[in-house]
Chains A and B, each alone.
Chain A
Amino acid sequence: MVGAEDKYILELQGISKFFPGLKALDQVNFNLRVGEIHAIVGENGAGKSTLIKIITGVHQPDEGDIFYEGNKVIFHNPTVANRYRISAVYQQPASFPHLTVTENIFLGHPIIHSATKRLMWKEMRQEAKRLLHSLGSDISPSATMNSLSVAQQQIVEIAKALSVNARVLIMDEPTASLTKRETEDLYNIARKLRNNGVSIILISHRFEDVYEIADRVTVLRDGKSVGTWKVSEITEHDLIKAMVGREINQLFPKSTVSLGKELLRVEGLSRVGYFSDISFSLRAGEIVGFSGLVGSGRTEVAQSIFGIAPADEGKIMIEGKEVSIKNPMEAISYGIGYLPEDRLEQGLFLPLSINDNVTISIIDQLTNKGWLNPPREYEISNKMLELLQIKAPGIFHPVSSLSGGNQQKVVVAKLLAAHPKILIMDEPTKGVDVGAKAAIHRIMSDLAAEGLGIIMISSEMPEILGMSDTIIVMHEGRITGVFSRFEATQEKLMEAAVEVNRSTPTPVIS
């Protein structure tokens, strides 16, 4: 059987990868022909990054086999993958910014004089120049990396791959931060490499990339491979459908509540380089969902409202009054709570107890003339433990020993302890298990019913569709679609999230 597969340079069969509480990849099949460009597409969290990490040897699969030119191989670590001449170029090149182009290209495999063991810099520079020329670039080999544009850095990374005669080249979101012109150049380089027999795996959110240069496309969804098609044989519409086409099988219990007065109004909010002209309003009892791809500026909007990185322009009004929020302390005093996406980095004090985490935002209000008043704190923490059903032996338990879902609940408890009127929740259920997810959704629903306004940023379509009263889609820092709960579909959201930047006009959605 194996012999019949030898037209493939790389073949993955039944690859599964488990992380604690998460099945990142589930029986994924993928194959790569010699001299083709094979695109992998999927929503955020579909498993693309994990798959790449398995191919580059960063992670080892828990199940399944990898075949290289028909032979079974095991990539214990990235060095082994490198030996099979597999290279990757990332969106933000992981290079050494203070070293020169030549040093970056030959890092790890310098040209050394066989007798004297001397580094042959002149030869390396010449070789670097030749490689860069072959890619149609005139970057100076002695320039330092940080003096180059992102596009140029990517070209250097590609040159580095060529310097080890890469046979498999992985390009992860290569065009995400490139201009139109640079994108065209990159396409040409990719085609040229393919014609020279290099096999390219292209990860991209941009359908333009896929249709422009890829030969075949594999769709991942929820860690499973949905299928592989020739690009010429699948329409964009079908591709989108394959990406999002799961049933909404979890129950998202946002109950219908009559919306109250306007709590928050944002007008023309802009921050140079991150987002521009953001306007929306949030009413009591409402959940406004922010959809869009990672990097579309949703988090930045949320953080500017919370005062972490205030906007340059625009107005924020709370209950009709214009306010200026310069730091999180002020935001909290205006009744805004923010659940950060990265709870470990931005939300939790791991070695501290649940109690200390829950009360930190309101500790000043709990003191008795400035002195800590433990009974008061314990009362609130115990109430929160019960309200959010945090599974822990008690409020004195360190947060580091809780599960991801319970840690997330502790961050939520910290927010609720401050009695906010407006909650901003950034990926509230990211990385939590199904049970905790349902619990967090129920809590959100209850809070909305109590008259809080909630802004929810989520990359999960079912969550957005199930929980939001209003859905705002962002793309590259702008709002590209606003839908009511009733008119929104996964396809419409996905189109708004990816299609705006395409050269062809966006089809009008009826």
Chain B
Amino acid sequence: MRLRLVGGRAAKTGVAWCALGRLAGAQVAGIAVDPHMVVLTATRPSGEITVLNPHATRAEFSVDLRFGFATTDSAGKLTVQLSDGPDSASAAGWIVPYPSRFTLRAGAQRTVRLLAQPPSPLVDGEYWARITVHARDDAPAPFADTTDRTAARVRIAMETATVLPVFFRKGVVSTGVAIGAVTATAASNAVEVRATLTRNGNAAFIGVAHLVLRDSTGSTIASTDRQLAVYRSMQPRWTIIVPQGIPLGGCTVLVRLSTDRHDVPRNLLLQTRSVETVVTVSAEGAP
């Protein structure tokens, strides 16, 4: 049998782009970027992203980098904190995109290369930035009727942007996560879980939280998985949906964090041992 190997990345990109066809309707603006994370190292300081213009006409694109990382807000929702201030973990100042501005015709795609030029000396560890790719309509469609002088014509155009992480790893890097205080509170047909998580090592923990709700006999009532990234410390809030009518007295929640992520290539994912804890579900409003 003769097998021809084509560029694996191009093939993957092509397959993934096909998903775009599932959004119906005439597209008037948009953006798609692949892959969803970039890892550079001291021995391989260059990488690339592919930018696609799904727009029906030509569009202008720009690429910039800022320091940022995933964290949680005061309500426990995942968010991305971007900053232009100095930070010892920032790679934003020394990773350069090329080109940083370009135009793409309808349906076209372009590779944007990223080159890390880290300062020297640089302490072993992982450094972070967020790439933002902006898209704007190069030639907005004119109003259909420009002769009508009896009424105003009003329209809002939309620009789009996506933000994705880029990592630079130097020397020996390791990760881990510690679970601090955890609460599990019964709510209406749900259990709200809040945990304090702190990263160990010198690199971000990219993983998943497995949450298992068990009754007093140890039988599983419900479970859910939530992907997360712990860069420093965070307090995520998770909701486990519970079937109606299930009593939650005496129930427990197992929280297990592992690096079992299926959306990140294994060669990019820093592995560490899983950690877990069990907490008893308390009634809503209980101390």
- Report if A and B associate in a common complex: no
Residues of B whose CB lies within 8 Å of any CB of A are none
